[in-house]
Amino acid sequence: MPSLLNTLSVPYPLADQHRHEPALRGAWQRVCESGSYILGREVEAFEKEYAAFLGGGRVVGVASGTDAIELMLRALNIGSGSKVVVPSFAPSAVASGVRRSGAEVVFADIDPHTFTLCPESLAALLRSPQGSGVDAALVVHLYGHPADWQGLRSVAVEHGIELLEDCAQAHGALWQGRMAGTLGRAAAFSFYPTKNLAALGDAGAVATQDAELAERLRLIREYGWGRRNVSDFAGVNSRLDELQAAVLRVKLGSLRDNVLQRRRLAAVYDASLSGCRMVVPPVVRGGCEHAYHQYVIRTKNREALLQHLQQAGIPAAVHYPVPLHRQRAFAGSHMPLSEAERAASEVISLPVHPYLSEEAPAEVGEVIERFDHACG
Ligand SMILES: *Cc1c(COP(=O)(O)O)cnc(C)c1O
Protein backbone atom coordinates (compact mmCIF):
# COMPACT_ATOMS: atom_id res chain seq x y z
CA MET A 1 0.00 0.00 0.00
CA PRO A 2 2.45 2.69 -1.09
CA SER A 3 -0.09 5.56 -1.06
CA LEU A 4 -1.05 4.84 2.52
CA LEU A 5 2.49 4.56 3.75
CA ASN A 6 3.42 7.75 1.91
CA THR A 7 0.96 10.07 3.58
CA LEU A 8 1.34 8.32 6.94
CA SER A 9 5.11 8.47 6.93
CA VAL A 10 5.42 12.27 6.92
CA PRO A 11 4.87 13.37 10.51
CA TYR A 12 2.37 16.18 11.06
CA PRO A 13 4.87 18.85 12.22
CA LEU A 14 6.90 18.42 9.03
CA ALA A 15 3.84 18.22 6.77
CA ASP A 16 2.54 21.42 8.40
CA GLN A 17 5.89 23.12 7.81
CA HIS A 18 5.86 22.05 4.13
CA ARG A 19 2.32 23.28 3.64
CA HIS A 20 3.22 26.78 4.88
CA GLU A 21 6.84 26.96 3.71
CA PRO A 22 6.85 30.11 1.53
CA ALA A 23 4.69 32.15 3.90
CA LEU A 24 6.77 31.03 6.87
CA ARG A 25 9.97 32.12 5.15
CA GLY A 26 8.45 35.54 4.54
CA ALA A 27 7.31 35.86 8.14
CA TRP A 28 10.66 34.69 9.43
CA GLN A 29 12.50 37.27 7.32
CA ARG A 30 10.12 40.04 8.41
CA VAL A 31 10.93 39.34 12.06
CA CYS A 32 14.66 38.95 11.52
CA GLU A 33 14.83 42.33 9.84
CA SER A 34 12.58 44.09 12.34
CA GLY A 35 15.23 44.18 15.06
CA SER A 36 12.53 43.37 17.62
CA TYR A 37 12.51 39.79 18.87
CA ILE A 38 10.60 39.77 22.14
CA LEU A 39 7.06 41.04 22.83
CA GLY A 40 6.83 43.18 19.73
CA ARG A 41 4.32 43.67 16.94
CA GLU A 42 4.03 40.02 15.96
CA VAL A 43 3.04 38.89 19.45
CA GLU A 44 0.60 41.76 19.81
CA ALA A 45 -0.96 40.99 16.41
CA PHE A 46 -1.14 37.26 17.11
CA GLU A 47 -2.83 37.87 20.45
CA LYS A 48 -5.50 39.99 18.74
CA GLU A 49 -5.96 37.57 15.86
CA TYR A 50 -6.23 34.54 18.11
CA ALA A 51 -8.74 36.34 20.35
CA ALA A 52 -10.77 37.09 17.21
CA PHE A 53 -10.58 33.42 16.19
CA LEU A 54 -11.96 32.45 19.60
CA GLY A 55 -14.76 34.97 19.19
CA GLY A 56 -13.68 37.57 21.72
CA GLY A 57 -11.81 38.19 24.94
CA ARG A 58 -8.09 38.65 25.49
CA VAL A 59 -5.15 36.43 24.66
CA VAL A 60 -1.77 36.65 26.39
CA GLY A 61 1.09 34.81 24.69
CA VAL A 62 3.47 32.86 26.93
CA ALA A 63 6.35 30.44 26.46
CA SER A 64 4.49 27.09 26.61
CA GLY A 65 1.23 25.37 27.49
CA THR A 66 2.62 24.26 30.85
CA ASP A 67 3.53 27.86 31.64
CA ALA A 68 0.06 28.96 30.55
CA ILE A 69 -1.44 26.65 33.22
CA GLU A 70 0.93 27.90 35.90
CA LEU A 71 0.49 31.57 35.03
CA MET A 72 -3.30 31.52 34.83
CA LEU A 73 -3.40 30.01 38.33
CA ARG A 74 -0.93 32.57 39.66
CA ALA A 75 -2.91 35.39 38.08
CA LEU A 76 -5.97 34.14 39.99
CA ASN A 77 -3.96 33.99 43.23
CA ILE A 78 -4.25 30.23 43.28
CA GLY A 79 -1.01 28.75 44.59
CA SER A 80 0.52 27.53 47.79
CA GLY A 81 -2.26 26.58 50.22
CA SER A 82 -4.75 25.94 47.40
CA LYS A 83 -5.85 22.73 45.76
CA VAL A 84 -6.69 22.31 42.10
CA VAL A 85 -8.64 19.36 40.71
CA VAL A 86 -7.41 17.78 37.49
CA PRO A 87 -8.63 14.66 35.69
CA SER A 88 -6.27 11.77 36.33
CA PHE A 89 -6.37 10.71 32.68
CA ALA A 90 -4.42 13.54 31.02
CA PRO A 91 -0.87 14.41 29.94
CA SER A 92 1.47 14.88 32.88
CA ALA A 93 2.07 18.52 31.84
CA VAL A 94 -1.37 19.28 33.27
CA ALA A 95 -0.37 18.24 36.77
CA SER A 96 3.13 19.75 36.38
CA GLY A 97 1.71 23.15 35.47
CA VAL A 98 -0.56 23.10 38.52
CA ARG A 99 2.30 22.02 40.79
CA ARG A 100 4.46 24.85 39.48
CA SER A 101 1.89 27.38 40.69
CA GLY A 102 2.44 26.04 44.21
CA ALA A 103 -1.05 24.53 44.42
CA GLU A 104 -1.66 20.92 45.40
CA VAL A 105 -3.00 18.64 42.67
CA VAL A 106 -6.02 16.46 43.48
CA PHE A 107 -7.43 13.98 41.01
CA ALA A 108 -10.94 13.22 39.87
CA ASP A 109 -12.15 10.59 37.42
CA ILE A 110 -13.20 10.92 33.79
CA ASP A 111 -16.34 10.26 31.84
CA PRO A 112 -15.57 7.00 29.99
CA HIS A 113 -17.16 8.15 26.71
CA THR A 114 -15.46 11.50 26.23
CA PHE A 115 -12.34 10.97 28.42
CA THR A 116 -13.01 14.36 30.06
CA LEU A 117 -13.54 15.36 33.71
CA CYS A 118 -16.64 13.66 35.11
CA PRO A 119 -19.02 16.08 36.91
CA GLU A 120 -20.22 13.37 39.34
CA SER A 121 -16.66 12.46 40.26
CA LEU A 122 -15.80 16.15 40.74
CA ALA A 123 -18.86 16.55 43.00
CA ALA A 124 -17.94 13.46 45.02
CA LEU A 125 -14.41 14.75 45.47
CA LEU A 126 -15.61 18.18 46.59
CA ARG A 127 -17.94 16.61 49.16
CA SER A 128 -15.12 14.40 50.53
CA PRO A 129 -12.52 15.51 53.12
CA GLN A 130 -9.97 15.74 50.29
CA GLY A 131 -12.16 18.34 48.65
CA SER A 132 -11.68 20.94 51.33
CA GLY A 133 -9.42 23.76 50.18
CA VAL A 134 -10.10 23.21 46.48
CA ASP A 135 -10.18 26.56 44.66
CA ALA A 136 -10.42 25.46 41.05
CA ALA A 137 -10.81 22.60 38.61
CA LEU A 138 -8.69 22.48 35.48
CA VAL A 139 -10.91 20.97 32.80
CA VAL A 140 -9.00 19.29 29.98
CA HIS A 141 -10.83 19.00 26.65
CA LEU A 142 -8.89 15.82 25.99
CA TYR A 143 -8.14 14.83 22.40
CA GLY A 144 -10.23 17.84 21.30
CA HIS A 145 -13.61 16.79 22.73
CA PRO A 146 -15.20 19.55 24.86
CA ALA A 147 -15.92 18.46 28.41
CA ASP A 148 -19.47 18.41 29.82
CA TRP A 149 -19.42 22.12 30.59
CA GLN A 150 -22.99 22.36 31.81
CA GLY A 151 -22.56 19.52 34.27
CA LEU A 152 -19.21 20.80 35.49
CA ARG A 153 -20.46 24.37 35.81
CA SER A 154 -23.35 23.43 38.04
CA VAL A 155 -20.98 21.50 40.36
CA ALA A 156 -18.54 24.45 40.35
CA VAL A 157 -21.26 26.96 41.16
CA GLU A 158 -22.62 24.79 43.97
CA HIS A 159 -19.17 24.49 45.57
CA GLY A 160 -17.90 27.97 44.72
CA ILE A 161 -14.81 26.94 42.74
CA GLU A 162 -13.32 28.40 39.55
CA LEU A 163 -13.53 26.40 36.33
CA LEU A 164 -10.46 26.73 34.12
CA GLU A 165 -9.83 25.14 30.74
CA ASP A 166 -6.89 23.30 29.30
CA CYS A 167 -7.34 23.73 25.54
CA ALA A 168 -3.93 22.43 24.48
CA GLN A 169 -5.70 19.77 22.40
CA ALA A 170 -8.87 21.68 21.59
CA HIS A 171 -8.08 24.56 19.22
CA GLY A 172 -11.24 24.92 17.17
CA ALA A 173 -13.48 22.68 19.31
CA LEU A 174 -16.97 23.97 20.03
CA TRP A 175 -19.40 23.46 22.91
CA GLN A 176 -22.96 24.66 22.21
CA GLY A 177 -21.54 26.84 19.44
CA ARG A 178 -18.98 28.44 21.77
CA MET A 179 -15.27 27.98 21.22
CA ALA A 180 -13.31 25.97 23.73
CA GLY A 181 -11.21 28.57 25.48
CA THR A 182 -14.10 30.95 26.08
CA LEU A 183 -16.10 28.80 28.50
CA GLY A 184 -14.20 29.15 31.79
CA ARG A 185 -12.66 32.00 33.74
CA ALA A 186 -9.45 31.44 31.77
CA ALA A 187 -8.00 28.88 29.37
CA ALA A 188 -4.51 27.57 28.69
CA PHE A 189 -3.37 26.84 25.13
CA SER A 190 -0.22 25.11 23.90
CA PHE A 191 1.22 25.60 20.42
CA TYR A 192 3.74 22.78 20.73
CA PRO A 193 4.62 21.53 17.21
CA THR A 194 2.20 18.57 17.30
CA LYS A 195 -0.85 20.59 18.38
CA ASN A 196 -3.70 21.65 16.09
CA LEU A 197 -2.13 25.12 15.94
CA ALA A 198 1.60 24.52 15.92
CA ALA A 199 4.66 26.72 16.38
CA LEU A 200 8.16 25.73 15.27
CA GLY A 201 9.20 25.33 18.89
CA ASP A 202 7.60 26.00 22.25
CA ALA A 203 4.76 28.48 22.58
CA GLY A 204 1.55 28.91 24.55
CA ALA A 205 -1.14 31.38 25.55
CA VAL A 206 -3.80 32.13 28.11
CA ALA A 207 -7.22 33.27 26.90
CA THR A 208 -9.73 35.03 29.12
CA GLN A 209 -12.78 37.26 28.89
CA ASP A 210 -11.53 39.12 31.98
CA ALA A 211 -9.50 42.20 30.97
CA GLU A 212 -8.05 42.69 34.44
CA LEU A 213 -6.90 39.09 34.61
CA ALA A 214 -5.26 39.52 31.19
CA GLU A 215 -3.40 42.58 32.49
CA ARG A 216 -2.12 40.63 35.50
CA LEU A 217 -0.93 37.89 33.16
CA ARG A 218 0.98 40.46 31.08
CA LEU A 219 2.81 41.56 34.23
CA ILE A 220 3.50 38.05 35.49
CA ARG A 221 4.99 36.83 32.20
CA GLU A 222 7.64 39.56 32.31
CA TYR A 223 9.16 39.80 35.79
CA GLY A 224 6.07 41.41 37.25
CA TRP A 225 7.08 44.64 35.58
CA GLY A 226 4.48 47.38 36.06
CA ARG A 227 6.78 49.57 33.98
CA ARG A 228 10.15 48.83 32.47
CA ASN A 229 12.68 47.65 35.07
CA VAL A 230 10.26 48.19 37.96
CA SER A 231 8.54 45.09 39.30
CA ASP A 232 5.22 45.27 41.13
CA PHE A 233 5.86 41.70 42.33
CA ALA A 234 8.25 38.90 41.43
CA GLY A 235 6.90 37.53 38.16
CA VAL A 236 8.57 35.07 35.82
CA ASN A 237 10.06 35.11 32.35
CA SER A 238 7.58 33.31 30.13
CA ARG A 239 7.34 35.31 26.93
CA LEU A 240 6.19 34.29 23.49
CA ASP A 241 8.93 34.93 20.89
CA GLU A 242 8.29 37.21 17.93
CA LEU A 243 9.45 34.43 15.59
CA GLN A 244 6.97 31.94 17.02
CA ALA A 245 4.18 34.52 16.98
CA ALA A 246 4.90 35.22 13.30
CA VAL A 247 4.74 31.48 12.56
CA LEU A 248 1.47 31.15 14.46
CA ARG A 249 -0.07 34.08 12.54
CA VAL A 250 0.67 32.31 9.26
CA LYS A 251 -0.77 29.01 10.43
CA LEU A 252 -3.80 30.51 12.16
CA GLY A 253 -5.13 31.33 8.69
CA SER A 254 -5.75 27.64 7.98
CA LEU A 255 -6.69 26.44 11.48
CA ARG A 256 -10.42 26.40 10.74
CA ASP A 257 -10.00 24.41 7.53
CA ASN A 258 -7.55 22.06 9.21
CA VAL A 259 -10.02 21.26 11.97
CA LEU A 260 -12.72 20.65 9.36
CA GLN A 261 -10.37 18.29 7.54
CA ARG A 262 -9.67 16.43 10.82
CA ARG A 263 -13.45 16.01 11.20
CA ARG A 264 -13.77 14.65 7.66
CA LEU A 265 -11.01 12.12 8.28
CA ALA A 266 -12.66 11.16 11.58
CA ALA A 267 -15.95 10.55 9.76
CA VAL A 268 -14.14 8.16 7.39
CA TYR A 269 -12.72 6.32 10.40
CA ASP A 270 -16.13 6.21 12.09
CA ALA A 271 -17.72 4.66 9.01
CA SER A 272 -15.00 2.09 8.48
CA LEU A 273 -14.89 1.02 12.16
CA SER A 274 -18.65 0.86 12.68
CA GLY A 275 -18.80 -2.89 12.05
CA CYS A 276 -15.97 -3.82 14.41
CA ARG A 277 -16.89 -5.63 17.61
CA MET A 278 -13.54 -5.36 19.38
CA VAL A 279 -13.11 -1.65 18.86
CA VAL A 280 -15.07 1.33 20.20
CA PRO A 281 -14.74 4.48 18.05
CA PRO A 282 -14.75 7.90 19.76
CA VAL A 283 -18.08 9.38 20.81
CA VAL A 284 -19.17 12.95 20.08
CA ARG A 285 -21.73 14.31 22.52
CA GLY A 286 -24.70 16.36 21.28
CA GLY A 287 -23.90 20.08 20.96
CA CYS A 288 -20.17 19.37 20.69
CA GLU A 289 -17.83 19.82 17.74
CA HIS A 290 -14.73 17.68 18.22
CA ALA A 291 -11.36 19.14 17.18
CA TYR A 292 -9.80 15.66 16.73
CA HIS A 293 -6.34 16.51 17.96
CA GLN A 294 -6.34 12.72 18.34
CA TYR A 295 -8.69 10.08 16.99
CA VAL A 296 -8.79 7.63 19.88
CA ILE A 297 -10.39 4.20 19.88
CA ARG A 298 -10.75 1.80 22.80
CA THR A 299 -10.16 -1.93 22.77
CA LYS A 300 -9.70 -4.67 25.36
CA ASN A 301 -7.19 -6.24 22.96
CA ARG A 302 -4.74 -3.39 22.92
CA GLU A 303 -1.37 -5.12 22.76
CA ALA A 304 -2.45 -7.43 19.93
CA LEU A 305 -4.01 -4.59 17.92
CA LEU A 306 -0.99 -2.33 18.41
CA GLN A 307 1.24 -5.10 17.12
CA HIS A 308 -1.06 -5.70 14.16
CA LEU A 309 -1.00 -1.96 13.29
CA GLN A 310 2.76 -1.80 13.66
CA GLN A 311 3.21 -4.76 11.31
CA ALA A 312 1.09 -2.94 8.74
CA GLY A 313 3.34 0.13 9.04
CA ILE A 314 0.69 2.29 10.72
CA PRO A 315 2.00 4.75 13.31
CA ALA A 316 -0.45 4.25 16.18
CA ALA A 317 0.29 5.53 19.68
CA VAL A 318 -1.00 5.34 23.25
CA HIS A 319 -2.04 8.62 24.86
CA TYR A 320 -1.74 8.01 27.88
CA PRO A 321 -0.52 4.68 29.25
CA VAL A 322 -0.41 5.56 32.98
CA PRO A 323 -3.02 7.68 34.78
CA LEU A 324 -1.49 10.59 36.69
CA HIS A 325 -2.33 9.23 40.14
CA ARG A 326 -0.25 6.14 39.30
CA GLN A 327 2.83 8.14 38.24
CA ARG A 328 5.64 8.50 40.76
CA ALA A 329 5.61 12.31 40.55
CA PHE A 330 1.92 12.63 41.43
CA ALA A 331 1.10 9.36 43.17
CA GLY A 332 -1.81 9.00 45.47
CA SER A 333 -5.53 9.53 45.48
CA HIS A 334 -8.26 8.81 47.98
CA MET A 335 -10.84 8.64 45.23
CA PRO A 336 -11.53 5.58 43.13
CA LEU A 337 -10.38 6.49 39.63
CA SER A 338 -11.42 3.35 37.83
CA GLU A 339 -12.39 4.98 34.52
CA ALA A 340 -9.02 6.73 34.26
CA GLU A 341 -7.32 3.41 34.86
CA ARG A 342 -9.48 1.55 32.37
CA ALA A 343 -8.95 4.21 29.68
CA ALA A 344 -5.19 4.09 30.21
CA SER A 345 -5.24 0.36 29.47
CA GLU A 346 -7.56 0.49 26.44
CA VAL A 347 -6.87 3.58 24.28
CA ILE A 348 -5.10 3.70 20.94
CA SER A 349 -4.59 6.92 18.96
CA LEU A 350 -4.88 6.36 15.21
CA PRO A 351 -3.15 8.73 12.82
CA VAL A 352 -5.22 11.85 12.13
CA HIS A 353 -3.96 15.16 10.81
CA PRO A 354 -5.07 17.45 8.03
CA TYR A 355 -2.38 16.38 5.58
CA LEU A 356 -3.40 12.73 5.48
CA SER A 357 -5.17 11.67 2.32
CA GLU A 358 -8.82 10.70 2.81
CA GLU A 359 -7.90 7.17 1.74
CA ALA A 360 -5.59 6.79 4.72
CA PRO A 361 -8.27 6.38 7.42
CA ALA A 362 -10.24 4.05 5.15
CA GLU A 363 -7.19 1.85 4.69
CA VAL A 364 -6.25 1.96 8.37
CA GLY A 365 -9.89 1.05 9.07
CA GLU A 366 -9.58 -1.99 6.79
CA VAL A 367 -6.46 -3.13 8.60
CA ILE A 368 -8.38 -2.90 11.89
CA GLU A 369 -11.40 -4.70 10.41
CA ARG A 370 -9.18 -7.62 9.40
CA PHE A 371 -7.87 -7.81 12.96
CA ASP A 372 -11.40 -7.63 14.30
CA HIS A 373 -12.60 -10.51 12.10
CA ALA A 374 -9.56 -12.61 12.96
CA CYS A 375 -10.34 -12.11 16.68
CA GLY A 376 -14.03 -12.83 16.36
C1 LIG B 1 0.62 19.62 25.25
C2 LIG B 1 -0.23 19.77 26.43
C3 LIG B 1 0.14 20.56 27.52
C4 LIG B 1 1.51 21.16 27.65
O5 LIG B 1 1.84 22.06 26.68
P6 LIG B 1 3.40 22.42 26.44
O7 LIG B 1 3.34 23.51 25.43
O8 LIG B 1 4.06 21.17 25.93
O9 LIG B 1 3.96 22.86 27.74
C10 LIG B 1 -0.76 20.75 28.54
N11 LIG B 1 -1.98 20.16 28.51
C12 LIG B 1 -2.36 19.37 27.50
C13 LIG B 1 -3.73 18.77 27.52
C14 LIG B 1 -1.50 19.12 26.43
O15 LIG B 1 -1.90 18.33 25.44
Give dist(CA 7, CA 236) in Å, integer: 42
Q: Residue 97 CA: which ligand 1 atom is closest?
A: 10
- Residue predicted with more confidence, 1 or 282: 282
Share of the chain above pLDDT 90, in %: 94
Asked if 329 contacts 98 with a C-beta cutoff of 8 angstroms, the reply is: no
Q: E strand or H helix at 219, and its extent?
A: helix 211-220
Q: pLDDT digits over 64-83, tens only?
A: 999 999 999 999 999 999 99
Taking CA atoms only, the protein residue closest to ligand 1 atom 6 is: 65
∠ Cα 275 280 285 (to 5°): 110
pLDDT at 331: 83
For position 375, what pLDDT does the model report?
84
Strands (DSSP E) along the chain, which ranges? Answer: 58-62, 83-87, 104-108, 134-140, 162-166, 174-175, 178-179, 187-190, 204-208, 225-227, 230-231, 279-280, 288-289, 295-299, 347-350
**Distance between Cα 241 and ligand 1 center (Å):** 18
* Cα–ligand 1 centroid distance for 36 (angstroms): 27
Query: What would the mean pLDDT of 179-186 be, rounded to a whole number?
Result: 98
pLDDT at 16 over 80: yes
Asked if the model's pLDDT at residue 271 lies above 70, the reply is yes
C-alpha of residue 176 to centroid of ligand 1, in Å: 24
Phi-psi region of 40 (alpha: psi -120 to 50; beta: other; left: phi over 0): beta
Angle between helices 359-375 and 302-311 (to 10 degrees): 130
What are 323-373's pLDDT values in tens digits? 999 999 998 777 889 999 999 999 999 999 999 998 999 999 999 999 998
pLDDT at 155: 98
Pocket of ligand 1 (CB under 6 A): 64-66, 90-91, 93-94, 140, 166, 168-169, 190, 192, 202, 204
Specify the pLDDT at position 5.
Answer: 58
Q: How far apart are CA 106 and CA 87, in angstroms?
A: 8
User: What digits encode the pLDDT tens for the residues 209-255?
Assistant: 999 999 999 999 999 999 999 999 989 999 999 999 999 999 999 99
- In whole numbers, what is the pLDDT of the chain averaged over residues? 96
Q: Which domains does the chain have, with CATH numbers?
A: 15-252 (3.40.640.10), 255-375 (3.90.1150.10)
Ligand 1 atom closest to residue 169's alpha carbon, by position in its atom list: 15
User: 195 an active-site residue?
Assistant: yes
User: What is the distance in A from the centroid of ligand 1 to the CA of 189?
Assistant: 7
Nearest to 369 by CA among 269, 275, 264, 267: 275
d(CA 17, CA 24): 8
Of the residues 48, 83, 195, 300, only one is catalytic, namely 195
